[in-house]
Amino acid sequence: MAFTTLTTNQVSFLEQHLRGTGRAMSAAQARETYGIMNIRARMTDLRSAGLRVRKSVNSKGNTAYAVSRRDVFGLQSKVFA
C-alpha cells in the first residue's frame, strides 16, 4: 500500500485539502491515499475548531466528508496554520 506522506499534521492537511474546494473524502480514500486511519476523529477536531463539516452517504453506504469554506461564524480565515 503506497500513500502520500503528509508534511503537516492531519487536521491542517484536511482543512487545506477539503475546505471550500467542493471535494469530499471517504474513510477508505483517506486511509489508502493519505494514511489517515480515523477520519471521523479528524472531522470531529475540525468541528470543534468551528468549521462546518458536511457528511454524505452514497448509495453503497459509504460516508464522505466535506468542509465548507466558511466557519460557523461566517469567516473564511484559516483555523490551523
The predicted-structure confidence for 22-67, as pLDDT tens digits, reads as follows 999 999 999 999 999 999 999 999 999 999 999 999 888 889 999 9
On the 0-12 / 13-18 / 19+ scale of CB atoms within 10 A, 30 is buried
8 A C-beta contact, residue 56 and residue 62: no
Return the C-alpha cell found at 53: 463539516
Looking at the domain 10-71, which fold is it? Arc Repressor Mutant, subunit A (1.10.10)
Which residue type occupies 5? T
Report pLDDT for 81: 66
Positive or negative, the CA dihedral 57, 58, 62, 66 is: negative
What's the average model confidence in pLDDT over 14-25? 92
What does pTM read for this prediction? 0.84
* More confident of the two residues 7 and 34: 34
Report the distance separating Cα 43 and Cα 59, nearest Å.
Answer: 22
